[in-house]
Chains A and B, each alone.
Chain A
């Protein structure tokens, strides 16, 4: 005699077989409808909140999160939908971001040391009074320690601190805007959720930054070794300081994807009216962030450099 569980298993297997057959038949009929079939399959495969919580509670460390950022961001988005996980993910994402930005600062400092140039910053007030003056220019390193002067006198620490702290502090400044824009787009999010998404966006950006750094270093080394053109080196160094903006695009895309998933959970009538706001939401926040970030980094860097 079969147990109830065995009978249930058998029934489930049979019904799954029928479903799979239906889907495969469906795919053979019309390639145009394949997308719809895939969507149905994706919806069916989406795990429940309990499964996600269980998966998280089985032990996910910071390295696993980095792996997910690189390989499977949809898993991260699933985690972020669980309210109790948001607060525990926040410090981890923050750690990833900090590690990424500190590494970036170290590498840029090394490149600057190799080229023998170090940036000198003018205050924003001076620049506003005289817009012809350069806000940031690269001058040869003058120190009794040679090119290692900035490592000794604390300029390197300052650069690392300005970028690591400034890039994250900018997110703090822009948070209320993101919350406001998400409400405008009809995505119902709590402030914690907004913070978690913003910090996840930073973590993705920092991982992307680490990814593009080797390419940049190779380029910069090429400019130093094969060309003595000062303008070219200066341009390469400027590009280096703007790398966080380029890497930020990955973070922006990741944020857009996460918000798109949230928009899918909205009521159908709201989806038609408000979903197009999503593009504007992400663009507006990116513009806001892009405007605040250089000011923040420059202000911290310039003000603290007065103490050295």
Chain B
């Protein structure tokens, strides 16, 4: 019969699309993932454009890749990537041990990673600013022959530059402190797993790591304000 033949071919194509969706695997939640595969089997014409869409054209936050600045390979980048790798390995090692908290904290964990990079960017910006010649005492104040007003301005300027240096150092200390703390928690996750601690212990540790993002909220606010001013 024509209907049966059509339905068989429809499902055949659908299973192909479902396999492609399975291989693409973008969902974090297992139920959502398998439900999406089932949907793709029956409603494959809706999923074909998604599969054909260039995946690399856009990054996770929906903005084209070229809108992102290239990340310089400095000590901060190396430290962040090292902690990210260790953290990733710890999460993979959990094998569904603390899946509930992982799925609920997924967004905060991603936010924490982006906050590290934002903080590192701010530090680099400040380093660039402080490396400029106008950050040092210059000849203008020397030429003025003890002009009180100029000297006072120069003094305030140096005070502000000193303040900037302090901010930069504080940010650097904060970032490295958080990275070190996350590394410590990562080893505690391993320890909890192999010492037979209850799953709630791992959940607690992951929640603690995710909570670290709140310490960076101030930095994110600055960044957003800066972007809105530019826009």
Contacts and interface: CB of A to CB of B under 8 A. Distances in A.
Interface of A: 1, 3-5, 8, 12, 48-54, 57-59, 82-88, 90-91, 94-95, 165, 168-169, 171-172, 175, 190-192, 194-195, 198-199, 303-304
Contact of B26 (A3, A83, A88, A191): A88
A57 B107 contact: yes
B63 interface: yes
Nearest to A8: B225
A83 B58 contact: yes
B174 to A, nearest CB: 15
Interface string B46-83: 11011011000111111100000000000000000000
B62 A175 contact: no
A87 B47 CA distance: 8
Given A8-B225, A49-B63, A91-B35, A195 B43 contact: no
A5 B222 contact: yes
A192 B43 contact: no
Given A3-B163, A88-B26, A57 B50 contact: no
B159 interface: yes
A172 B45 contact: yes
Given A1-B159, A95-B35, A190-B49, 17 more contacts: A3-B163, A49-B62, A53-B63, A57-B110, A83-B58, A84-B58, A84-B59, A84-B62, A90-B46, A90-B50, A94-B43, A165-B42, A172-B43, A175-B46, A191-B49, A192-B49, A195-B49
B208 to A, nearest CB: 19
B50 A192 contact: yes
Q: How large is the interface on B (under 10, 10 to 19, 20 to 34, 35 or more residues)?
A: 20 to 34
Interface of B: 3, 26, 32, 35-36, 39, 42-43, 45-47, 49-50, 52-53, 57-63, 107, 110-111, 159-160, 163, 222, 224-225, 227-228, 231
A48 B228 contact: yes
Query: Which of A82, A94, A95, A172 has the most chain B CB within a 10 Å cutoff?
Result: A94
Given A91-B39, A168-B43, A84 B49 contact: no
A286 B59 CA distance: 34
13 contacts: A4-B160, A12-B225, A50-B224, A52-B62, A59-B107, A83-B57, A83-B62, A87-B50, A90-B50, A94-B46, A172-B43, A191-B53, A192-B50
A192 B58 CA distance: 13
Given A3-B163, A85-B62, A91-B39, A171 B46 contact: yes
Contacts of B60: 57, 84
Query: Which of A51, A91, A95, A191 has the most chain B CB within a 10 Å cutoff?
Result: A91
Contacts of B227: 48, 50
Contacts of B3: 303-304
Contacts of A58: 107
Contacts of B61: 49-50, 53-54, 57, 84
Contacts of B53: 83, 87, 190-192
A192 B225 CA distance: 32
Contacts of A194: 49
A195 B49 CA distance: 8
Contacts of B49: 190-192, 194-195
Contacts of A86: 50
B64 to A, nearest CB: 8
Contacts of A195: 46, 49-50
Closest 7 CB pairs of A and B: A82-B62, A172-B45, A191-B49, A84-B62, A53-B61, A87-B50, A53-B62
A12 B53 CA distance: 41
A175 B45 contact: yes
A12 B228 CA distance: 11
A94 B39 contact: yes
A94 B107 CA distance: 23
A168 B39 CA distance: 11
